[in-house]
Amino acid sequence: MIKLEEDSTVARTVHEPTRQILSSPRSFADKKADDKELSIGLIKSAKRTGQLSLCNRGLGTVPENVWKIDELVLEETKEVDFTRSDLNNWWNSEPLKMLDLSSNVIKTISPNIKLLQQLVTLKLHDNALTSLPAEIGELKVLSNLSLDHNKLTVLPKEFYKLTELRWLSLAHNELTKIEPDFGDLVMLTFLDLSHNKLTVLPPGMGYLVRLVELNLSHNQLQELPPDIVNLRDLKKMNISNNNLKKLPPLGELRKMEVLDANHNDIEVLPDFYGCTALKELYLANNFIKEITEEFCDQMQHLNVLNIRDNKIEVLPENISLLQKLKRLDLTNNNLNKLPRNLGLLSQLQSLSMEGNKLSAIRQDVIRGGTDRMMKYLRDRMTDELVSETQYTNNDWPDKYTLKKSQALMVPSRDLSTVPDDVFKAAADAEVHIVDISKNKLTAVPIGVCHLRETLSQLILSSNSISNIPPEICRCMHLQYLDLGKNCLAELPLEIADLKNLRELVISNNKFSKIPRSVYELENLEILLAAENQIEEINVSSDALAKLKKLAVLDLTNNSIFTVPPELGNFTHLRSLELMGNCFRQPRHAILAKGTASVLSYLRDRIPTN
């Protein structure tokens, strides 16, 4: 046992962070001063808890007693009282299991590190290490090791004996290669090799079959080893900022959820068949020329697709298969037109199209944001589909037409009903749009419910419908519902179940108030309720105030007697239409100035008491 006299010297004041120390004239503390950083208090705490932190102390060397801490006996143990209850007693001490030496300016690690045989976690990140001792390989139970932000150029061959490692970060070093023995670290679940100078990965990486997260970004890799597809537990892989020209087929990575391959030299999309868990795909700043139909078939579960700054010239019609897509970035490509079916992406929340050659679309539409762009696409698509799908009164669209258009368009056909079989065929074709407007319906065809898994737009305007059956509200993916120009005076409470609804049209009906169920539509952005007999605007906390995303509200030509000043607090409204009502204030001149002026006028009249 090594005895350690209690030192009355007060430990040095904790230094500023390493980054500041390096900028001072006296960056490196001498070894004697470094040794004093390991105070009696720290030793007592370490022996009690099994944890020692010397991070961010400006250390140029590691105090020698750190390596021998498990052998140290304090002078106080000369007089032992076994009847005393004291957690600090040496017989209650814990072996060192966690050592934090991060954020210093340490250049070397002593071979005596091998003495810390119970070490589980070792933090050496943010130092100035240029090498590691061979003895580090003797830490048989080491599980977590952080070596990022150092100056390592090579790893000793003994490093690969750390077969219990679960978590390893070697990011931000100067490694030019890793040995095939890296494949011996088979217990790894997290590996970060980013920001090095690697040009190739050795064979054997495929043995790391427990990896869940792998970061290889910011290297100089030109290809991935074929056995990388053996990493079947992988959920996140970052290979961005390399020199990769192609990717191997990745279908075996069935658990992968996020792939970042931005900033490479990839020219062709890889085969993703089998990647059924992939949710986010980043392929920006490459040289990809085409999104293929096969890709859209394989990627129907994608939530995010970023493929900006490529060379894409055309989008396939079946891009509408990407029904779970929430973000699509096609900025700075070579697109000169858009497929009409792009408007069928019912869950899309962000669509970026700037920097293309879309001469047929006005720039103000492109720059107007996702809502405006999607409305343009939907309007254009509806017009085109109606003109292409004109059937005789005795004909219904066949399954091939339904599959191609993914829409059931039967407006203006004097229909009083639609056969159930038509909706079943539409469901088989995964139809997203149903338009039965301008007919003679007195009730909503209950067969619409067959489309509850795919339907995103339902157009029932210009009929004689007097009530909406609750069953329709099973179509949980509905985002656009047009009930305008009917005979409705109420909506069922179940309308509140349409949590994805973004636009609701109830204009030209018989409503005397906005139905209470509408206030439960938390994602509603557009509410068109013109040409009714609505008498009041309810801005209370359990009414209109609940619609936090509402951007467009049209109450033109109703019977509203007063406009509550509190409506002025609804600053998220981009368009508010109130013309043609009974109120005297705001006057017509204020209404004519637009939404911002109306809201400002109303705010100024909110009582201050």
Q: Same CATH fold, 289-388 and 1-144?
A: yes
pLDDT score at 60: 92
The secondary structure of the chain in percent helix, strand, coil, rounded to multiples of 5, reads 25, 10, 65
Query: 243-258 pLDDT, tens per residue?
Result: 999 999 898 898 999 9
Phi and psi, residue 181, nearest 5°: -65, -10
- Into which CATH architecture does domain 1-144 fall? Alpha-Beta Horseshoe (3.80)
Q: From the centroid of its chain, how far is CA 349? A: 12
- 78/408 Cα distance (integer angstroms): 91
Q: Which of 213, 225, 224, 260 is nearest to 241 (CA)?
A: 260
Provide the residue count of the chain: 609
Percent of the chain with pLDDT over 90: 61
* Structure confidence at residue 379 (pLDDT): 76
Q: How far apart are CA 433 and CA 397, in angstroms?
A: 13
User: In CATH, what is the architecture of 289-388?
Assistant: Alpha-Beta Horseshoe (3.80)
Q: pLDDT per residue over 566-591, tens digit each?
A: 999 998 898 899 999 999 999 989 99
Give pLDDT, residue 136. Answer: 96
Pick the CATH number of 396-603 from 1.10.8.60, 3.80.10.10, 3.40.50.1980, 1.20.1090.10: 3.80.10.10
d(CA 361, CA 379): 13
Give 2-17 pLDDT, tens digit per residue.
444 444 333 333 334 4
Cα dihedral sign, 294-298-302-308: negative
For the chain, the structural domain boundaries read 1-144, 289-388, 396-603
Parts of the chain with a pLDDT under 50: 1-29, 75-83, 85, 87, 386-394
Rounded distance between C-alpha atoms, residue 64 and residue 118, angstroms: 18
Question: What pLDDT score was predicted for residue 28?
Answer: 45
Pairing of strands 72-74, 144-146: unpaired
pLDDT of residue 246: 93
Rounded-to-integer distance, Cα 183 and Cα 292, Å: 35
